[in-house]
Structure 1
């Protein structure tokens, strides 16, 4: 059931929004805590400046992404990729 929401602040606690679809949604500066996004699809998403902490990234696949400035535990991903490619002989 589609629901249009006007621009304001919303809080959802202990909510089950499983199998929901969010299209053309502005979640800038939103906070997600203790959220389960297992088996979700994130497509055409802007995460510029986002901090992700205490996250389980097991079996996550990231394809067709811009890693410019992205860090994993303080290490630039592009530097990691360069070392990987050099060691691989690419």
Structure 2
């Protein structure tokens, strides 16, 4: 099935649409529930204001993203790696990440 320049609301239920391609598509305000998006590739996407709940992001890789204003609650960051990241203004349990890193550097130098 091919849709081109359509302005319709779709309701898709119990459907295998694996391998589908979306290009220059507006899905703002859409709801995804019990959806398997494993192995998908996203490029040039706008997720501002999106809410993700009860998600399995195991093995997820992000590059060149803007997480300004991101709020995470009850998140497991076990095994997470952050490289070349800007933590200005970021906090963990109310403590500035820059303060935590500074403390770690001092303790590392003293050891």
TM tier, smaller:
0.7 to 0.9
Give unpaired runs (5+ residues) of structure 2: 76-88, 106-111
Question: Are the structure 2 counterparts of residues 34 and 5 from structure 1 closer, same or farther at C-alpha, using a change threshold of 3 Å?
Answer: farther
Aligned to 2:17: 17
Q: CA deviation at 1:79?
A: 2.7
Q: List, as ranges, runs of 4+ consecutive aligned residues in structure 1 with deviation greater than 2 Å.
A: 77-80, 82-85
Question: In the comparison of the two structures, how many residue pairs are matched?
Answer: 87
Equivalent residue number for residue 97 of structure 2: 83
**Cα distance change, pair 78–63 in 1 and its aligned pair in 2 (3 A):** farther
1:52-90 CA distance string (max 9 Å, x none):
001001111111000100111179x9335x62882674x
Greater RCO structure (CA 8 Å; 6+ sep): 1
For 1:74 and 1:49, the matched residues in 2 are separated by: 19
Q: Please, what TM-score do these two structures have when normalized by structure 2? A: 0.67
What runs of 5+ residues in structure 1 fail to find an aligned partner?
A: none
The alignment's TM-score, normalised by the length of structure 1, stands at 0.81
2:77 matches 1:65: no
